[in-house]
Structure 1
Amino acid sequence: MSIGALFNSYLYHGNSLKKRFFEGWYFKFVDKRKEKSFAVIPGVSTGSSKNESHSFIQFLSGNRNESGNFTYPFKDFHSDTKRFAVEIVDNYFSTERVSLNMKNEKVKIAGEIKIIHPYLWPVRFYSPGIMGPFSFAPFMECYHGVVSMDHSLEGEVEVSGEVINLYGGKGYIEKDWGRSFPEAWVWMQSNNFDHARTSFMLSIATIPWLGRSFTGCLCAFLCKGELYRFTTYKGARINRVDTSGDRISVDLKQREFTIHVDARKTSGAQLISPVQGTMSGKIDESLTSEIHLKVYEGNTLLFEGTGTNSGLEAVGKLKLKD
């Protein structure tokens, strides 16, 4: 890992060509009418040998409930060492634009997307990303980063003959890197609320730590231009997590703030996920779920609204301490 990547979660962390390592950036797109959504995930996977190493781009369609994976040689992956810019053959990803040009026997995807006014996650030398001081821990199973909480879009993408008009649409970018995803987690995200410049992301996971494990959370809420952070290292307490059926309910408490989440999970499609660096796992993700959110500051209701076109995953069973 370069020194630049250590202090900036946006950048590529695998320059040392580690074994059993993965890294991927998650780009989500929703059209202005909130009728069509899709995500693309460029990344790399290195197994225990060079034969297991490759780069990839995953594609997930929300309205079609379809997914696909495009694989490329590892050498076709290129990244900038000073700013976030990733290239895989004829595909390009940054915080300014995305260029797509990929096809296989089932689907062809091509288009140019411009990213307008991204709300970039603030990077500090003592806190290079949403994980704060945990970003510097050298033995974490998985690291998480948020690149842009919210931005507007311009452009079009053609998916097997269907043109998706993204002018006036909304986008979001995050990333993961490490060895494996956790054994259990809940993740959800939406920036399609009735309120402008509003975005919400929540991740709760079982995290291995020094031979034991704990259930921790990363939560970010952008409201009226102000970014609120609710995380385990800031003292956030998970009071309740219920993932029964198609409803997911979460209650968080951090100092004077209380968050109530009631999400409805809709059907989705399968993505592949990392297991010890190799993309051999499978997860189901929806892009058409809903998140009803209430945020209190003391006894004052700071925000209430419903985010549509929400990304949502629920894997395994989370355990909270009594």
Structure 2
Amino acid sequence: MLHLLQNFLSFTQTPHSGYHWDGGERRFFEGWYYRVTLPRENQTFAFMYSIEDPVGRKPHSGGAAQILGPNDEYLWRTFPDVNKFWAKSDVLALGHWGKTNIESQPLYLLPVEFESYIKEGYQATATLNQGTIHNPSNGDYCQWQYEIQPVYYWGNRGSIQQSTAGWISFLQIFEPGWQILMAHGLASGWIDWNGKRYEFTNAPAYSEKNWGGAFPQKWFWLNCNSFDSEADLALTAGGGRRGVLWWMESVAMIGLHYQGKFYEFVPWNSEVSWNIEPWGKWEMHARNSQYEVTLIGTTDLPGTPLRAPTENGLIFACRDTMQGKLTLELRELNAVESKTILKATSDLCGLETGGGPWDSSWLND
């Protein structure tokens, strides 16, 4: 039975689902992002977990949990003891214990055990996200527990799943690495945000991760799986300047899951262009031999500064909103003319710019 389960996981989970640290001394970070969108409330919760220099005794050693909550409100908590962090190298499973009276090494707990014994901390897998953190200076807190039913990972349904950055991402050439773990899923459970309890069933959910020993200089990101009148649609797009051996390159990609099919626009199969303002407007276009896609994301909101692992530790390095507006158009190409397959809109799109400098628009065409 265990053998069958391992075979199933190896087929369905994405590459890079496991923890990447090799136990070495070099500068290293790994970060995970879980999100659940509540269309009825017009709100989104994003949970960001990170660990830096897990070998310990380094200037930036430690972990953290950040939450971008209703109306882009922000809550975070550090977990400085790297020995209270755990993660699996072969599957998506991780956690960090803060306040607890358990003396044993940290490990996955049944949800009811976690709730009883872990007074501050989190644990997350491919099918669960659970935790509790609070700000002792003002009393703000969040407690959450929800189960996840994956719908799309990263690739065609029923096929072996793909690396977001292609096969070469298995080599330590591109850093940091980036992997969408679950492009779309259905979450059921609850979140308690400062005394307001949100209960939900089959809410759109998403997860991704990044890792490595180097850090991007500048980046942007668009993500949405809660569209008007399109329940079976998920978008993730982004780009950045990253290290490749001894030089820097600018790359971007767009990935769509729609009605069971994966539409992938990446540098090795498509032309991808973008025009990203420092804040307020994100435009992307991509074209390959069969399809083309256009994205326009906008926001009038100021966004919320978020911390990100950098060469100088976990510091404010990006700005996000989970209430961006998005228009998306996907077209099929043929010898005569293009045919529109899909037009979709949303008011619950995640938008981000990070790093810098952002003195002017970033145009790549």
The residue that corresponds to 2:321 in the other structure is 286
The residue that corresponds to 1:116 in the other structure is 149
Deviations 1:31-61 (A, max 9, x none): 1414221111122011896243112211111
Partners of 1:307 and 1:134 in 2: CA distance: 33
What is the letter of the counterpart of residue 210 of structure 2? D
Secondary structure class of the residue paired with 1:63: helix
Q: Report 1:50-89 matches (<5 A).
A: 50-51=57-58, 52-89=60-97
Bigger strand fraction: 1
Partners of 1:242 and 1:42 in 2: CA distance: 26
Deviations 1:229-263 (A, max 9, x none): 111122x2123424265122112122222111111
RMSD between superposed Cα atoms in Å: 2.7
1:190 partnered with 2:231:
no
Partners of 1:227 and 1:122 in 2: CA distance: 5
**For structure 1, which runs of at least 5 residues remain unmatched after alignment?**
none
Partners of 1:133 and 1:313 in 2: CA distance: 26
Change (3 A) 1:64 1:251: closer
The residue that corresponds to 1:257 in the other structure is 291
Change (3 A) 1:277 1:96: farther
Q: Is the 8 A contact 2:39 2:226 kept in 1?
A: no
Change (3 A) 1:62 1:111: closer
Partners of 1:243 and 1:237 in 2: CA distance: 20
Secondary structure class of the residue paired with 2:17: coil
Deviation at residue 289 of structure 1 after TM alignment? 0.7
Q: Is the 8 A contact 2:77 2:135 kept in 1?
A: no
Deviations 1:213-244 (A, max 9, x none): 3221122101011111111122x212342426
What is the letter of the counterpart of residue 304 of structure 1? K
Matching residue within 4, 17, 22 for 2:29: 22
Deviations 1:267-311 (A, max 9, x none): 321211122272134211111112111111110111111133211
Q: Between 72-81 and 296-305, report the one with greater CA deviation.
A: 72-81
Scaled by the length of structure 2, the TM-score of the pair is 0.79
Q: Is the 8 A contact 1:21 1:278 kept in 2?
A: no
Q: Between 45-54 and 265-274, report the one with greater CA deviation.
A: 45-54
Deviation at residue 210 of structure 1 after TM alignment? 4.0
Q: Is the 8 A contact 1:55 1:76 kept in 2?
A: no
Secondary structure class of the residue paired with 1:168: strand
Q: Report 1:151-162 matches (<5 A).
A: 151-162=185-196
Deviation at residue 202 of structure 1 after TM alignment? 0.4
Q: Is the 8 A contact 2:220 2:352 kept in 1?
A: yes
The residue that corresponds to 2:104 in the other structure is none
Change (3 A) 1:88 1:250: same
Change (3 A) 1:43 1:164: same
Deviations 1:171-228 (A, max 9, x none): 1001111134422221010001121121001011123334333221122101011111
Partners of 2:170 and 2:73 in 1: CA distance: 37
1 or 2 for the larger relative contact order (CA 8 Å, sep ≥6)?
A: 1
Scaled by the length of structure 1, the TM-score of the pair is 0.89
Secondary structure class of the residue paired with 1:11: coil
Q: Is the 8 A contact 2:150 2:186 kept in 1?
A: yes
Deviation at residue 99 of structure 1 after TM alignment? 1.2
What is the letter of the counterpart of residue 203 of structure 2? G
The residue that corresponds to 2:175 in the other structure is 141
Matching residue within 241, 261, 277 for 1:206: 241
Deviation at residue 159 of structure 1 after TM alignment? 1.4
Deviation at residue 117 of structure 1 after TM alignment? 3.5
**For structure 2, which runs of at least 5 residues remain unmatched after alignment?**
1-9, 98-117
Secondary structure class of the residue paired with 1:169: strand
Q: Report 1:226-305 matches (<5 A).
A: 226-234=261-269, 236-243=270-277, 246-265=280-299, 266-276=301-311, 278-298=313-333, 299-305=338-344
The residue that corresponds to 1:224 in the other structure is 259
The residue that corresponds to 2:109 in the other structure is none
Identity %: 18
Matching residue within 133, 154, 167 for 2:201: 167
